[in-house]
Structure formats: structure tokens, C-alpha cells
A = this chain, B = another copy of it.
Amino acid sequence: MDHFEWVVIGGGPAGFESALNLAGRGMKVAIVEKRELGGVCLNRGCIPTKVMISAAKRIERLKSTKRYGISMAEASFSYPTLKRHQERVVKGLRKGLEQRIREAGITIIDGEANLSGQGLVVVTDNNGRKTCSLTFEKVVIASGTAPIIPSPWMGVEGVVSSEDFWTLDDLPRDILIVGGGAIGCEYASALSSLGYNITLVEQMDRVLFTEEPETSEAVSRSLRNGGVRLLTGKRINDIKKTETGLMIEAGSEFFSSSLVVCCMGRVREKAPAGVDLTGVASLKLDDRTWIAGDIAPGPKLAHKAAYDADIIVDHALGRHTEPRYDNIPMAVFTSPEVGRAGLTEEEAKARFEVESRTMNLGQMGKAAADSVSRGFLKIVIDSKSRRVLGMTIVGHEASELSGYASLVLHNEMTVDDLGRIVFPHPTLGEIFRETAREFK
């Protein structure tokens, strides 16, 4: 029976980052994954979505080519071609990841991990048959989450989760998306740009309801302008398979669709046998057991999972740092994109005396030159210390710009300090300086 200093359960971002960092510090590490290395993020989440969104962005950009003197016949779109490219991209990245893991000297084990008493992992195959056992000193459990599908809809033909969506080789013209969170909004935005007829149903009174109201408004307006039928404050009561497709009942309304994609949040995957995660509020379960990623506290985001890995490695090296999730940035890859780090104004008001300023991206020279005027920056500060508490940016490449918010928060900058930072001209980033200077 092989012995490891660390066994990592789960090959997603929390798992592989933990494994790579621990192995990089000279430790003997095994990683156990029951599906593919890279987890949901690489195989059925972030990456495939971004390939689809890249296609959508290209089509979006075509809309403003004419004024730049570029003429072309209308473009046509083939989903199967995109799908093949998406698979190539995912496969390429997975191969690269696998190579990095092997080169780090990490043992990769296929199968499902079960904790069996002190320091013992029993690995089983798809049929529950034991394939091997490992002993360990410490373990990281990063078993991840799965998408929610309400049980009455499970198995209904044409109803898929946001993950199973990627098993489809082609798409029908009419698609209903349930859930206006980050994933639902991304799917609706990209698919409508690609020419599909999209209905998006959200039970709250606005999409992206954990974000600033201005964010929800900007994304809703853009979805509607792009042809999405957006229904908020509506709950789906029933989905029935009929001869022609699916019949959906929402409140007192009925409508039909060929495909329903559920983007209704995520729940913890079944924890490895032998682990109880009920009520867990920290990364450390006991002296030998850590959890990381989606199953741990904090936002369910790939980059937060990598952050958890850092905390665990710190502890492994005797540095006891506490995780701080309040500066973790988030991004929604709609058109326009959304980025945020830190508190929304409403969250901030509960704890501070706050001030905020909002500036439209259209005021930036770069936005005019590049026809990317949609969107805004909102900065929320503590009026007393003038420290920046949170920033939301909506607009072209906002996902890239949201890292600025992380940096500003990490360095505990005041808004006055931010107003003195020099950004290159002409860039959209100048809006950070300009908005900061609006706080008199």
C-alpha cells in the first residue's frame, strides 16, 4: 500500500492547485479524481463557456464594423463547428494540466476516494469495486459541487443542467434558461448573440441579484436589446414533455421551448464516504483533514479554490494565515462583462458610513475610439477612512479590469491614493483614476 504525505481528493482547481503547490514544496502527493482532471471549471464550466462567449463576442464586434469602413456579407454560424473547437481547447488545456501534475511528481489515481478510518483512503471504480488503497498523513478534500436540477425535472428529455449542456452536439433555435445568476446570464447573453431565441426566467425581481442594482439594470437592458425575452419575478411551476417539445408553466403563463437549461445554483457533491461536512465553517476539519474549493466556505469560484490551496499550503509550511474572502473578485462574462471585488454599496452600508460615485465608461476617450461605451465603474468607500470598500465595473473586458479592484482592496488603498495612480492613455482603465477623483 502506497503512503503519501498528502492525498488530495478531487482534481478541480482546489485539488490540483493544492497538489501542485504541496508537491512544489517537496512533499509526496497523490491526487484522486473520479472524472477528468481540471474539474467542472475546465471540462464543463468556465472554459467551455468562454469558448462559446468568444464566438459571441466576435459576432457582437461585427455589429460595429461598418462605421470603421469594414463591409462584409452577413455571417453564418455553425454550433457543431464551435463545439469541436471547444473540445479541442478543453482537451489541450487538460493535457497541459496533466503534464504539469506528472512533472511535479504527483501520483494521479482514477477513481472515487473513500476515507476509511485514520489516514486511509480506499479508491473504488464506477461499480463501487475497490481498486486500491493509500495511506496518508494529511488529506485535502476538494470534491466540488454539482448543478441543481429540481427533482421533478430530472430525466425529462430536453431539460439539461448548465454542465450537461456541453454534451449536446447541436442546439435547437428556441432555448429556455432557468436562473438569472452569473451562469444563466452568460448563457443567455452568448446564445442570443449567436442567433438563438432565448427566454430567461429568474425568480428574483432582477438578474444578478447579489450585485449592485445598476449592474442588474445594465445586464438586463443589454440582454433585452439583444433579443432575450427576460422574465423576472417568475417561478417555473412545471415543465412537461409534449409532442412538439417542452411546455413550460411559469406563474399563469405557458410557453414552449425545445431545450431548457437549468442554471439554478450548485450543491455540494456527495462528500467522500467517511466525511461529514454538515455545518463546516473553516478549511480545517481536524489536524489531518482540510477542505477546499466549492465545498468550503466562501464564494464558489475557481480562483477562490486556488486561494484556498494557498491557505492550506501555508499551514503545511507552518504559516498560519486565515482566509479572507472579501477581496476575492468575481466576473460575469456577459456582454457587457461584469467585474466586482469587495462590498456592494448595500453590503457596505450595513457596516460603514459610505459614499459612492459612478461614472459611465462612455466618458473615456478609449470607449469612443473603440466603440465600447456601454457600462460604468462604481466605487464604494468608507467616508471616514476614505478606504475603498468595493468596486463594480461593467463594460468591455470588465473581467480583466476587475483584478484592479482586487489589487486596490488588497493594498487597502484610499480613494485619494487611487486618484493619483497613472493609467496609460487612452485606456478604459483610466476610469479608475477619474472616478476616484469624483470623491471631493
Contacts and interface: CB of A to CB of B under 8 A. Distances in A.
Nearest to A430: B303
A202 to B, nearest CB: 23
Nearest to A57: B370
A107 interface: no
B50 A69 contact: no
Contacts of A432: 403
B93 A68 contact: no
A365 B69 contact: no
B68 A55 contact: yes
B72 A301 contact: no
A167 interface: no
Contacts of A384: none
A429 interface: yes
A425 B301 contact: yes
Contacts of A429: 400, 403
Contacts of A65: 55, 58, 75
Contact of A407 (B69, B302, B407): B407
A375 interface: no
A368 B85 contact: no
Interface in A228-243: none
Contacts of A245: none
Given A65-B75, A93-B368, A404-B403, A331 B58 contact: no
Contacts of A369: 47, 50-51, 53-54, 89
A427 B399 contact: yes
A50 B42 CA distance: 35
A334 interface: no
A424 B407 CA distance: 12
Interface in A399-428: 399-404, 406-408, 410-411, 413, 417, 420-428
Contact of A404 (B75, B368, B407): B407
Nearest to A303: B425
A425 B302 contact: yes
B407 A304 contact: no
Given A369-B89, A370-B54, A423 B329 contact: yes
A395 B181 CA distance: 31
A324 to B, nearest CB: 10
Given A400-B401, A423-B303, A72 B72 contact: yes
A116 B76 CA distance: 67
A293 to B, nearest CB: 12
Interface string A290-305: 0000000000011110
A403 B424 contact: yes
Contacts of A34: none
B413 A427 contact: no
A346 B334 CA distance: 41
Contact of A67 (B41, B81, B327): B81
8 contacts: A47-B368, A50-B370, A51-B369, A53-B369, A302-B426, A327-B422, A400-B427, A404-B407
Interface of A: 13, 41-42, 46-47, 50-51, 53-55, 57-59, 61-62, 64-83, 85, 89, 92-93, 96, 301-304, 306-307, 310, 327-331, 339, 363, 365-366, 368-371, 397, 399-404, 406-408, 410-411, 413, 417, 420-430, 432
